[in-house]
Amino acid sequence: MTSTISSDNTGPISSLRHKPFRRFIVGATIANCGQFIQGLATPFLMNELTGSPAWVGASGFASLAPSIVFTPIAGALTDRLNRHKMLMAAYSVVVLMSLLYFVLYQADALTPWRIIIIQLLFGGVIGFLFAPIQAMPAVLVPSTDLMSAVRMLSISFTGSRALGPLIGGVALAMSGPGLGFALAAVAFITGLVVVATIDAEQPVRNTDAPATSLLSDYREGVAFVRARPGLRIAVRNGFVLGALAAAIVFPLAASVASDILSTGGGGLGALGVALGIGSIVASLFIAGPGSRISLANMEAISLAVYCVGLLAVAATGQFVVGLFGFFVVGVAHMWHNVSLSTSMQLGVTDEVRGRVMSVWMVFLLAGIPLGALAGGFIANATSTRLVVLLYTAMIAAYLAYSWFGVDRMQALNPQHAAMEQ
C-alpha cells in the first residue's frame, strides 16, 4: 500500500462500519483509559507520600522519558513486523506491570523511589504501544475510510486521555489510589481481550529490499518529516504543547489541585471529570460541524483556548473557576491532538507510517516529562501558580510566533500534504 489518506472521505464516522476497526477502537480506548487512570493515581500517591511538586514532576518524567528511547525502535519495527502481534505483546506486558502496581500498593510497599523505578519500567513498555496503535488503521479500513479512521483514532486517544482521569478522579474521591490501580488493571486486561479478537491482515514488507538497521529506518522517518513543512509544524507543536499544557493538567495536576486550588483527592478527581467532559464535548463538535474547520485554524484556536483555560486555573484559586479552567483545557486538548494527528497521517505513506508517527510521538512524549520535571522544580523554588502563568505566557508567545511570524500553520491542511507527496 503506497497511497496516502484520501481527503474524499465518505463521512466523519464511516470507518466505524468496519468490524475490525470498531473492535480496535473499543479495545484501544479502554486500554488507554487504564493508562490515564493509573497516570492520575500515581502522582496523587506520590504527592501524598512526599508533598513535593519536584517528586510529582519526577514521577511524570519517569513515566514517559523511557518512551523517548523505545518509541523510535517500535516505529521501525512497526513497518517490519505484524502490527497486531506487536500490539498484543505490548499490552500483555502492560497488564503485568499494572498488576504489580496494584499488588505493591495493597502490601503498602510503594515508596517514592519504588514508584520512580516502576514508572521507568512502565514507560519503556508504553514506548512499544504508540507506533503500532497509530499505524493500525491502515490495515483495518480501506483507503476511502482512512481519513475517518484517523479522526476516530485521534478522538479515541484524546478522549481516553480525558475519560481516564475522569474515572480515576471518581475512584480517588471514593476510595483513594488503591481503587485507581485496580481499575487501571481491569481496563488493561479488558483492552487486551478486545484487541485479541481483531482479525487483521497486513501486507508483508517487500523481502527483496536491502536489509537495513532499525536506526537507519528511523532516520528515514526523520528525513521524511524534515522534508515536509506540515509534518515539521505538527511535530514542533506536539512538543511545545506537551511541555507547556499537557504537563500541567496531567503529571502536575496533583500539585495544581493542592497548591493552587487547596483541594485533596476528591477535588483532583473533580478536575479530572471536568477535563473529561471538556474533551467529550469537543469530540462531539469535531465529529459534526468541526469537521469543516481547517486543521490549521483548528490548531490555532486550540492554542488560544489552552491559554484561556490555564489562566482560569491560576487566576483566583477558587475551585469552581479551576474546574472551568480544566473543562476549557479539555476542549483545547481534544482539538489540538485531533488536528495534529490527522495532519500527520494525511502526509504519510503506509511504508513509513510507523516510523513517521513514532517521530511525532517521540517529540510529543519528550515535551510532557520535560515540562513536568522543569515545572516541578520551578514550583518548588517559587509556586505552582507561577509555573502555570509562565507556561501560559509561553503558549501565547508561541501562538503569536506561529500565526503571525511563520505561515499561519497553513501547511497542516490536507491540500498542502497532498502537494508534498
| pLDDT tens, position by position, 365-405 | 788 888 988 998 899 999 999 999 999 999 999 999 988 76
Cβ atoms of 41 and 172 within 8 Å: the answer is yes
Taking residues 206-227, report their average pLDDT.
Answer: 76
- Cβ atoms within 10 A of the Cβ of 418, count? 14
What's the count of helices (H) and strands (E) in the chain, helices before strands? 18, 0
Highest mean pLDDT among 2-11, 107-116, 274-283: 107-116
What pLDDT was estimated at residue 163?
Answer: 77
What pLDDT was estimated at residue 210?
Answer: 58
* pLDDT confidence tier of residue 4, bands split at 50, 70 and 90: very low
Of the two residues 297 and 169, the one the predictor is more confident about is 297
Q: Is 71's pLDDT higher than 50?
A: yes
Q: What's the Cα-to-Cα distance from 38 to each of 33, 35, 388, 395, rounded to whole Å?
A: 9, 5, 23, 28
What pLDDT was estimated at residue 115?
Answer: 92
Q: Note the CATH number of domain 14-198+215-420.
A: 1.20.1250.20
Q: Where are the domains of the chain?
A: 14-198+215-420
Cβ atoms of 399 and 303 within 8 Å: the answer is yes
37-51, 147-161, 280-294: which range is least confident on average? 147-161
Cβ atoms of 203 and 1 within 8 Å: the answer is yes
What pLDDT was estimated at residue 391?
Answer: 97
* pLDDT confidence tier of residue 11, bands split at 50, 70 and 90: low
What pLDDT was estimated at residue 129?
Answer: 87
Taking residues 351-372, report their average pLDDT.
Answer: 85
What is the distance between the alpha carbons of residues 367 and 376, in angstroms, rounded to a whole number? 14
What pLDDT was estimated at residue 244?
Answer: 96
Reduce the DSSP state of residue 342 to 3 states and report it: helix
What pLDDT was estimated at residue 207?
Answer: 47
State CA 182 to chain mean position distance: 22
Q: Give the mean pLDDT of the chain.
A: 85
What pLDDT was estimated at residue 393?
Answer: 97
What is the distance between the alpha carbons of residues 97 and 163, in angstroms, rounded to a whole number? 21
Of the two residues 278 and 415, the one the predictor is more confident about is 278
What pLDDT was estimated at residue 12?
Answer: 63
Q: Could you report the per-residue pLDDT of 242-264, keeping only the tens digit for each?
A: 999 999 988 888 889 989 999 87
Q: pTM of the prediction?
A: 0.78
